[in-house]
């Protein structure tokens, strides 16, 4: 079908956007599937790299959890971009309208979530703390460290904090309580001389924490919240994502209207 320049540009711009997301979604889904089926090959590969930071992520349980996250993200990206790309290439109003509707629903969900977060700040604050508390209950040490424990270690080590409110939060973790021995706080709560290896500057820090050798009274929730507020780049990224989202919606429905117009002209 022959279109004018504007429709032609809109069609192939939508194709390019969705082709990029399609390829990314396929790669993410493929990596997730690989990790879910054969996680041990990744562990062997990572162990060839001499890095303490990388070695922390070679735990089978952590890799398995990462695989499921990648599978979900990849599947959503694959499905959405497939609808948009095929709809534009096949000039299908049905596929394009379905694609545009999904994007609108996603945009509405984002706006509603942002609005609720703005109007119910204290409620969101309390619920987010409760959610974090559920994650810290699985905090563990040793060889069977899961992705959640690795996340907490990285967060505390890099931001200089301990737990959600303070070190007492770890008392809710049975694995920590049963395996900590004579420790009072995890290594990551100490002032570290090597952040990658989580090596405390003071060897007595984990058993006798104080304000001079640890961050045991400094909760990560407040520290991380303050850090987010200072990150202007995140605001720019969020605005850019919103603009791309709106452009895709406009392109999808504009093409639906254009295809309908040209079909009527042919009749």
Residue range 47-65: mean pLDDT, rounded: 58
| pLDDT tens for each residue of 148-198 | 888 899 899 999 999 999 999 999 999 898 888 899 999 999 999 888 788
Percentage helix, strand, coil for the chain under 3-state DSSP, each rounded to 5: 70, 5, 25
**Quick one: pLDDT band at residue 18, thresholds 50, 70, 90?**
very high
- Residue pLDDT, tens place only, 118-159: 788 788 788 888 888 888 888 887 666 777 888 899 899 999
Lowest mean pLDDT of 2-6, 63-67, 72-76, name the range.
2-6
Whether the model clears a pTM of 0.85, i.e. scores above it, the answer is: no
> With contact defined as beta carbons under 8 Å apart, do 14 and 251 qualify?
yes
pLDDT in tens, 199-218: 899 989 999 999 999 999 99
Tell me the C-alpha distance between 139 and 190, whole Å.
16
Axis-axis angle for helices 232-266, 60-89 (nearest 10) = 30
Mean pLDDT of the chain: 83
> How many angstroms separate the first and last alpha carbons of the chain?
13
């Amino acid at each position: 079908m022959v279109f004018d320049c504007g429709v032609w540009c809109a069609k192939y711009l939508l194709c390019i956007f969705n082709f990029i997301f399609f390829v990314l979604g396929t790669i993410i889904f493929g990596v997730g599937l690989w990790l879910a089926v054969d996680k041990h090959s990744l562990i062997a590969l990572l162990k060839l790299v001499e890095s303490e930071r990388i070695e922390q992520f070679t735990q089978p349980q952590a890799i398995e959890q990462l695989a499921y996250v990648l599978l979900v993200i990849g599947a959503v990206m694959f499905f959405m971009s497939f609808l948009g790309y095929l709809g534009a290439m096949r000039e299908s109003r049905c596929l394009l309208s379905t694609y545009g509707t999904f994007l609108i629903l996603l945009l509405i969900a984002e706006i509603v979530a942002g609005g609720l977060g703005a109007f119910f700040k204290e409620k969101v604050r309390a619920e987010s703390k409760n959610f974090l508390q559920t994650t810290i209950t699985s905090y563990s040490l040793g060889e069977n460290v899961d992705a959640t424990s690795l996340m907490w270690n990285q967060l505390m080590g890099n931001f200089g904090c301990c737990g959600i409110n303070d070190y007492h939060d770890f008392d809710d973790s049975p694995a920590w309580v049963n395996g900590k021995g004579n420790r009072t706080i995890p290594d990551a709560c100490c002032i570290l001389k090597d952040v990658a290896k989580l090596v405390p500057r003071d060897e007595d820090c984990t058993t006798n924490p104080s304000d001079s050798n640890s961050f045991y009274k400094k909760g990560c929730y407040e520290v991380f919240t303050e850090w987010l507020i200072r990150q202007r780049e995140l605001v720019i990224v969020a605005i850019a994502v919103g603009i791309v989202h709106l452009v895709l919606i406009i392109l999808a429905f504009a093409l639906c209207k254009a295809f309908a117009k040209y079909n009527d002209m042919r009749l």
